[in-house]
Amino acid sequence: MDSGAVEDRYIEGMIRTAEELGPYIVVAPGVAMPHSRPEDGVIRPCMALMTLHEPIEFGNPENDPVRLVFAFGAVDNEQHVGALRQLAMILGRFYDELGGIDDLLKAVTPHELLKTMLDALPEADVLPSQIQAERR
Amino acid sequence: MSAIEILAVCGHGVGSGVLAKMTIERALRKAGVPESDYHVEIADIGTANRREIDIYVTTSGFGASIKEWKRERQKLVLVKNLFSDKEMEKALLPVFQEVAASKS
């Protein structure tokens, strides 16, 4: 929100989504992805990551408690798909090959966390300009 | 055989449905299923009820409402981790093969 990627009302949209549709935003064990519809105030595609030192129950019996939160905003059905694909590749590796997301939670700084994530991404998939943008 | 129609269902059609579609496609590719054998689309729960669909894939949160209206021949696959190719393979492949056998 502070970077101007979404309007204030997008936050309300995300909360409304969670209330109306239930805790389905907990898309994997320990991981929630709050979002709403593009028309709820998204200015440009964006994603924010937060780790929770104190895990939170979202009301999803299969995947609670939540320890990693990826909030995102989409402007349409396409522009954010590349970013989601990379995120899915990274988290897929953690779940299927690295035994879960514990290593992501060990990171103390945002930079460390990003590095742990990018290290898990196949090199061919990392665009230098993208890393720069993400590390700013 | 006509392509098997798979629908990844989520709340708004931009988040978990997109993740599910990716995982479905990766799982089928890894299993060596030719791309011409299937077609994966994404829909929000409000527009998911479609006659042509063979297999619905979603998380348990939407499973109950799909069960209410899905046709008898339509299959429902529920997964809990939308990032795990392994879980998707395990849940989807047997159902996919069953549908493929009934269509051929």
What is the pTM for the complete model shown? 0.87
Rounded to two decimals, the ipTM of the complex is: 0.87
Concerning whether A35 is annotated as a catalytic residue, the answer is yes
Measured in angstroms, the CA of B27 and the nearest CA of chain A are apart by 12
- Per domain, the residue ranges of chain A are 9-135
pLDDT of residue A5: 93
Q: Which CATH architecture has domain A9-135?
A: 3-Layer(aba) Sandwich (3.40)
The letter for the amino acid at B5 is E
- Residues in B touching A48 (Cβ below 8 Å): none
The residue assigned the tokens 């429902």 is B76
* Residue-wise pLDDT tens digits, B34-70: 999 999 999 999 999 999 999 999 998 899 999 999 9
Complete domains list, chain B, with CATH: 4-103 (3.40.50.2300)
Mention every residue, 6+ apart, whose C-beta is less than 8 A from residue B56. B6, B7, B9, B48, B66, B70, B74, B75, B76, B77
* Residue-wise pLDDT tens digits, A60-106: 999 999 999 999 999 998 888 888 999 999 999 999 999 999 999 99
